[in-house]
C-alpha cells in the first residue's frame, strides 16, 4: 500500500509549526498505524531528516500514550481503540492521511505530534485519590460489602487511561469525561465517601484552571473514547459537584 501523509511538524512549543507532505510505500494492511509511522521515520532517518516525534509506549491499548488526530478524528476512523490498535487495513492504497496532534489550549504541543498532557495529572493530583492509613492495621478493602452494580460502574470508570481523546474529540476541548471518570471511580465506593465533597470541588476547579472548555453534551467524547467511558459519569460529576457546592 502506498500512502500520502500530511504530518504536522513543529520544532518546539515556541515554533509556529506547519504540515509536511511525505510518501510512504510498502505499507501492509496488518501493520498498526504506529508501525506505519515507524516506517516513515526509518525513511526519514535514512534521508538524514529528523524523524517525526510521536508518543507511544505499550502499543497494546493500555497506557494511553499514543494520541494523534488522524483524518479529523482522535485515534483515527475506528471505534473503541487507541492509535496503536488502528490497523492500516482501514485505509486504501493512495489515500491521503492528515496527522495532527490533539488540539487543546490545555495540551500544548511539545514537538511535532507530542503534546503535554500533564494537565490531566494536575487534575488527578487535585483529588483523584483516597487517604488511607497504612499504619499496619488497615482494613482489607474486600471486607467492605459493595453492591455489584456500583462495583462494576466504579471499575468501568477506572478503566479510563487518560489518553485525552475525549478532549481532542470535543468541539469545546472539554475534559469533563476524563474528570468525571476519575471522580466516579471513587464516588461509587464507600472508600471514596470521606473526601467526596472536597475531591469533586478541587478536581473541577483544577479542570477549569487548566483552560479546558465547557461540556455541551455533544457526546463526541464517549464515541471516541477507546474505553467507552459512559456519559453517565458526566451526569454523576454534575450531581456530585452540585451536592458538594450546596452541602459543604
Which range touches other proteins (CB under 8 A), out of 30-38, 39-47, 87-95, 213-221? 213-221
> CA distances (Å), 81 to each of 49, 99, 144, 151, 178, in order?
31, 17, 34, 24, 16
Out of 88, 224, 226, 227, the only residue in the binding site for other proteins (CB under 8 A) is 224
Taking phi over 0 as left and psi of -120 to 50 as alpha, with beta for the rest, 106 belongs to alpha
Out of 104, 126, 163, 187, the only residue in the binding site for other proteins (CB under 8 A) is 104
Out of 9, 90, 103, 122, the only residue in the binding site for other proteins (CB under 8 A) is 103
Give me the half-sphere count of Cα atoms (radius 13 Å) on the Cβ side of residue 157.
28
Least distance CB 15 / other proteins (angstroms) = 12
Out of 39, 114, 159, 213, the only residue in the binding site for other proteins (CB under 8 A) is 213
DSSP per-residue string spanning 134-176? -SS-PPPGGGS---HHHHHHHHHHHT-----HHHHHSTT-B-H
Decide: is 118 part of the binding site for other proteins (CB under 8 A): no
Decide: is 72 part of the binding site for other proteins (CB under 8 A): yes
CA 213 to the chain's CA centroid: 15
Decide: is 203 part of the binding site for other proteins (CB under 8 A): no
Out of 32, 82, 85, 174, the only residue in the binding site for other proteins (CB under 8 A) is 174
Decide: is 228 part of the binding site for other proteins (CB under 8 A): no
Using alpha carbons only, give the angle 19, 83, 104 rounded to the nearest 5 degrees. 55
Least distance CB 88 / other proteins (angstroms) = 19
Give 219's strand partners.
Answer: none
Least distance CB 240 / other proteins (angstroms) = 8
Q: Which residues touch 238 (CB under 8 Å, ≥6 apart)?
A: none
Dist CA 182 CA 90 (whole Å): 32
Q: Among residues 92 and 141, whose Cβ is nearest to other proteins? A: 92
Decide: is 202 part of the binding site for other proteins (CB under 8 A): no
Q: What one-character DSSP code corresponds to residue 213?
A: B
- Where does this chain bind other proteins (CB under 8 A)? 6, 8, 19, 69, 71-73, 77, 98, 100, 103-106, 169, 171-174, 204-205, 207-208, 211-220, 223-224, 231-232, 234-239, 241-242, 245-246
Amino acid at each position: 500500500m502506498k500512502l500520502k501523509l500530511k504530518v504536522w511538524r513543529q520544532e518546539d512549543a515556541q515554533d509556529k509549526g506547519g504540515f509536511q507532505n511525505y510518501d510512504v510505500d510498502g505499507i501492509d494492511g496488518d501493520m498498526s498505524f504506529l508501525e506505519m509511522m515507524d516506517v516513515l521515520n526509518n525513511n526519514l532517518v535514512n534521508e538524514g531528516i529528523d524523524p517525526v516525534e510521536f508518543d507511544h509506549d505499550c502499543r497494546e491499548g493500555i497506557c494511553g500514550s499514543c494520541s494523534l488526530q488522524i483524518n479529523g478524528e482522535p485515534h483515527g476512523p475506528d471505534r473503541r481503540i487507541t492509535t496503536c490498535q488502528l490497523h492500516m487495513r482501514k485505509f486504501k492504497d493512495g489515500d491521503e492521511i492528515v496527522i495532527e496532534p490533539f488540539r487543546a489550549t490545555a495540551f500544548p504541543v511539545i514537538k511535532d505530534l507530542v503534546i503535554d498532557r500533564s494537565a490531566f495529572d494536575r487534575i488527578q493530583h487535585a483529588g483523584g485519590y483516597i487517604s488511607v492509613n497504612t499504619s499496619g492495621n488497615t482494613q482489607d478493602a474486600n471486607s467492605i460489602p459493595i453492591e455489584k452494580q456500583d462495583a462494576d460502574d466504579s471499575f468501568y470508570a477506572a478503566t479510563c487511561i487518560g489518553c485525552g481523546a475525549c478532549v481532542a474529540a470535543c468541539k469545546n476541548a472539554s475534559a469533563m469525561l476524563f474528570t468525571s471518570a476519575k471522580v466516579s471511580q471513587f464516588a461509587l465506593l464507600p472508600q471514596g465517601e470521606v473526601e467526596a465533597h472536597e475531591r469533586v470541588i478541587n478536581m473541577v476547579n483544577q479542570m477549569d484552571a487548566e483552560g479546558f472548555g465547557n461540556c455541551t453534551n455533544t457526546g463526541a467524547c464517549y464515541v471516541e473514547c477507546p474505553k467507552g467511558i459512559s456519559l453517565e459519569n458526566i451526569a454523576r460529576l454534575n450531581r456530585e459537584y452540585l451536592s458538594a457546592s450546596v452541602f459543604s
